[in-house]
Chains A and B, each alone.
Chain A
Amino acid sequence: MSVAIPLDLTLPVPSLADGKAEERALVVAAQNGSSDAFAALVRLHQRRAYAVCRAIVLTHEDAEDAVQEGFLHAFKALDRFLPDQPFGAWLYRIMANASLDLVRRRKVRDADELPDTIAMPFRDPGESDELRRRLSQALTTLSDRQRSVIVLHDVEGFTHGEIGGMLGIPEGTARSDLHHARAALRRILKDVRSDL
């Protein structure tokens, strides 16, 4: 298929300031069959996509799998995407769904092993810092959804509305989950302080 819009795909991904028009052009080109344009979209969004997936799944490896699945789903569904809509929001919803699917599959498969693997940092196996160790433990006491909400909000900076859209829950529920998650983590942190 021919690509209607000429794009210099060898250039680095554009900054956010002029990124919207460029992104729209990339989406249209990808919809017209340009795999280079789709690669540019991957380059543009993969870090944020990873962050969304990482907030929902339990390990770095699962996040990688979910990102790949998510981009595959997005590629297959690209012709149904309307270029006037925000591509990021659409893509991150797909990423969240891919992650939730993966979590469901994992739960069915290794239900007994989950508490041990939850929220462990992938690059820091020999974690020495007491706070981080306690924080990792504290995260295991949260529900999957509360953990996802607090990470998406406090680490990634998504709004309650965006989080609700991604996780398929009302905005108020996201707000309440965040409140409970923070309270639980704050409690743990106080315990750490009193122990030290």
Chain B
Amino acid sequence: MTDIRLHSNDDDEVVRGLRSLYAAPAGDGYWNELEARIMARVADVELGWWTELDRWVRPALAAAAILLLAASIAMFRAHEAENEIAVDSMLSSPTVPVSTGIRPALQDDREARIRFLFGSNR
């Protein structure tokens, strides 16, 4: 596992010293107790509120996705229906002659200009 090993006596002594400084606790009692503490904390996590929340995250996300899809479809259909109504109303409405629709406005505009020009010349 180790790629380089120490060879000199000094290094061996350093390693021995380090091993003694960093020695893990001996005795099964200590490790059994540590395991118990870890598992107690895990049990707390298992029973915690966030676990309950976590349990609901996926169904909630799925429900949100379904709602979003349904809303999109509804909006699309509503938009389509509006378009159809608009097209239908355009096709079914009687044709208005362009001249009758525009001429009064043009005439009014023309008269106004003439009035303006004559008025300003005076």
Q: Would you call A150 and B38 a contact (CB within 8 A)? A: no
A196 contacts the other chain (CB 8 A): no
Chain A residues near B42: list those with CB within 8 A. 35, 38, 71-72, 75
List B residues 1-53 near A (Cβ within 8 Å).
1-4, 6, 8, 10-11, 13-15, 17-25, 31, 34-35, 37-39, 41-43, 45-46
Asked if A64 is an interface residue, CB under 8 A from chain B, the answer is yes
Q: How many A residues touch B, CB cutoff 8 Å?
A: 44
Count A-B contacts at CB 8 Å: 101
B residues less than 8 Å from A167 (CB atoms): none
Q: Are A154 and B14 in contact (CB under 8 A)?
A: yes
Contacts of A132 in B (CB 8 A): 17, 20-21
Main secondary structure of the interface of B (DSSP, over half): helix
B2, A159: Cβ atoms closer than 8 Å:
yes
**B contact residues, total (Cβ < 8 Å):** 31
Which B residues touch A72, using CB under 8 A? Answer: 38, 41-42, 45
9 A-B pairs with least C-beta separation:
A135-B17, A157-B2, A71-B38, A185-B14, A157-B1, A154-B15, A121-B21, A155-B18, A186-B10
